[in-house]
Amino acid sequence: MRTFVNPRSKGFTLIELLTVIAIVAVLAAMLLPCLGRVKNKARMIEEISAGRQLMFGVQMYGDDHNGAVFPGYAADPAAVDDRGQRLSFPENARYPWRLLPYMSGSMELIYSGENRAKLTQLKAQAHGDYVYAASVFPSLGINSYFIGGNETEFPPAAANAKYGGGTVLVQISEARRPSELMVFLAARSTAGGSGAQGYYQVLPPYLKTRQWAETYARSLAPNQWGFVAPRFNNHSVGVLLDGHAENYGLQAMQDMRHWCNRADRPDWTLAP
């Protein structure tokens, strides 16, 4: 006895397959932006966590140095690399190797997110090249001019004598608004000839005059926006002196009251 087989039951028709593919494509188009936002949010959370770890290190430094603020950029401090070898200028001047002893010796806490892949690449280089490069690209830049001071470009003693005591914060106890004063901010640079999601310092929007471009655009060179990176939907992770972290929008990150201990208005400038 022969069994009749319906040819339509052997599989999907071409129209049915095309319909399924179209539905999958539509669903993927709807989900991809959501997945992108979730991934971006995860990176931001990781950077916030890294910033808090940096502040633990800064606070431990203060505990060991009678309440002194960690220097933003030091002239000739004692610093060693991951092999215990003494470092010379400029590697020892930038903050990563100087702060590392207060962060369990883990450079991965200073490099976060996609910038950590950059660190992995650097480790594959010659050790001397790695030591130098690791000092340049930390994910968060330090507010070196007004927090602890930049002893090469903005020496604390000279700046405080000229512009008033507390212009450069050198003692934690002298902070007027520790919950508003930024120590670290998400950074970017073109050092090394290519874009990097990190830099060792961020520079303020105002000194004697405005230093930043009037408006932000992704096409701007990093130095035109103080090396600050608004990489999270035009927001940057900022870490405050009291240890907490916030997301700063484009307007808030230009407020000098977040940069300088003496600033009393958003467009505050240096005046003797």
pLDDT tens digits, one per residue of 163-199: 999 999 999 999 999 999 999 999 999 865 567 789 9
| Residue 39 covered by a domain | no
Is the separation of the CB atoms in 160 and 168 below 8 Å? Answer: yes
Alpha-carbon span 88 to 97, nearest angstrom:
11
| Residue 112 covered by a domain | yes
What residue spans of the chain are helical by DSSP H?
A: 14-64, 95-99, 115-123, 127-134, 156-163
- Phi, psi angle pair for 182, to nearest 5°: -80, 135
Lowest mean pLDDT across 25-29, 109-113, 155-159 = 25-29
Is the separation of the CB atoms in 267 and 206 below 8 Å? Answer: yes
Domain range for residue 165? 48-258
| Residue 31 covered by a domain | no
| Residue 240 covered by a domain | yes
| Residue 9 covered by a domain | no
Mean pLDDT on 63-78? 93
- Whether residue 1 is predicted with pLDDT greater than 90 in this model: the reply is no
59 compared with 7, residue with greater pLDDT: 59
Domains: count for the chain: 1
| Residue 52 covered by a domain | yes
| Residue 263 covered by a domain | no
Query: Is residue 252 very low, low, confident or very high in pLDDT (cuts 50, 70, 90)?
Result: very high
pTM, 2 dp: 0.85
Query: Is residue 24 very low, low, confident or very high in pLDDT (cuts 50, 70, 90)?
Result: confident
| Residue 27 covered by a domain | no
Is the separation of the CB atoms in 135 and 96 below 8 Å? Answer: yes
